[in-house]
Amino acid sequence: MKEYAAGMTWGEGPRWQRGALWLSDTQGGKLWTDHDGPWRGIPLDAIPNGLWFLPDGRLVGAMMHQRRIGVWTGEQFDTYADLSAVATGPLGDMVGDPHGNLYVDDVGFAAHAGEPLRPGRLLRVAADGAVHVAAEDVEFPNGLAFAGDGRTLVVAETTRQRLTAFTVADDGALTDRRTYADLAHLIGDDVRPDGIWSTQDGVWVATTTGHAVALVRENELVTSIGTGTLLPIACCSDGGNRLFVTLADTHGLPLGEAMATKAVDTTVALLEVPKAGDTS
């Protein structure tokens, strides 16, 4: 692994756009990017979790504690969509489709604050700003990605240790809920899936306490790359064979204790992974 960038506390939602990397530091209160040159963190009063780029190129963020989607102005996240009427807890990851629809985690409880686990939901923000509950009873919804031809939405259910898939209907509704990959069975009991990223080869999963990033297809483990003592949080590709992975170092502390005391540091590792059909 090659280290790409450092300086974060907890790096979520990495996204690659027009030659630059962007990510949220949910515990450090910053938006990180090298969009305008050197790698730097921009301090924020309102903290995004999941990030996505709209079809018109604008950056949007799931504002973790404000129950809204924000749009980046270059200095702050102005309101793009208000989710306060439907969201029940902090917002998590986010993904969008080519039509401008956004899907975002309503986590349902604040894990970092020690709140007890309760079911979350997936919310859909239509291109016109209308907000819909897309799926109920999703346990600790985390990473989100469109798989295959874009008609399958995959969500990481962290505490259920699995990826769950839905078929996306023409109107954006989610149907046909099913298990996409039982990660505890495929990888191991320590797996707690966080961020995911879909490629033509399958779905990459950052397993946090599983200490690996793994490529899976439906009920199949394709490959797994160990991360040693570091905990992989989230990942994204640049559209080619480079995979960016945020890695947390808890300095030997249990994850919960390290998060509570912010005794954790995040770097971004750059992995070279083969593309489909590449046997070299």
Tell me whether strands 68-72 and 102-106 are parallel, antiparallel or unpaired: unpaired
What is the reported pLDDT for 260? 80
What is the reported pLDDT for 276? 53
Alpha carbon dihedral 161, 53, 150, 89, in 10-degree steps, equals 40
Are 55 and 100 contacting, i.e. CB atoms less than 8 angstroms apart?
yes
Q: Helix, strand, or coil here: 73?
A: coil
Confidence of residue 280 (pLDDT cuts 50, 70, 90): very low
What Cα–Cα distance (Å) separates residue 203 from each residue in 36, 125, 148, 219? 30, 23, 9, 11
Confidence of residue 275 (pLDDT cuts 50, 70, 90): low
Residue 57 has pLDDT above 80, yes or no: yes
What is the reported pLDDT for 1? 59
What is the reported pLDDT for 180? 98
Residue 271 has pLDDT above 80, yes or no: yes
Q: List the Cα angle 28/241/227 in 5-degree steps.
A: 50
Are 117 and 109 contacting, i.e. CB atoms less than 8 angstroms apart?
yes
Choice between 171 and 52, residue whose per-residue pLDDT is larger: 52
Alpha carbon dihedral 227, 162, 218, 169, in 10-degree steps, equals -130
Residue 206 has pLDDT above 90, yes or no: yes
Average per-residue pLDDT for the chain: 92
Residue 22 has pLDDT above 60, yes or no: yes
What is the reported pLDDT for 99? 93
pTM for the structure as a whole:
0.93
Helix residue spans in the chain (DSSP H): 183-186, 255-261
Confidence of residue 7 (pLDDT cuts 50, 70, 90): confident
What is the rounded CA–CA span in Å between residue 55 and residue 134?
A: 21
Residue 97 structure tokens? 């489709």
- What would the pLDDT profile of 103-143 be if each residue is shown by its tens digit? 999 998 776 666 777 889 999 999 999 999 999 999 999 99
Please state, as a whole number, how many other Cβ atoms lie within 10 Å of the Cβ of residue 55.
Answer: 12
Are 41 and 11 contacting, i.e. CB atoms less than 8 angstroms apart?
no
What type of residue sits at position 54?
Answer: L
Confidence of residue 253 (pLDDT cuts 50, 70, 90): confident
Residue 195 structure tokens? 């961020």
Mean local confidence (pLDDT), 140-152: 94
Mean local confidence (pLDDT), 143-154: 94
159 HSE (CA, 13 A, CB side): 13
What is the rounded CA–CA span in Å between residue 37 and residue 46?
A: 24
- What would the pLDDT profile of 72-111 be if each residue is shown by its tens digit? 999 999 999 999 999 999 999 999 999 999 999 999 877 6
- The alpha carbon of 139 is separated from its chain's Cα centroid by a whole number of angstroms, namely 15
Residue 41 has pLDDT above 70, yes or no: yes
What is the reported pLDDT for 279? 34
What is the reported pLDDT for 277? 44
Nearest alpha carbon to residue 264 among 83, 12, 93: 12
What is the reported pLDDT for 95? 98
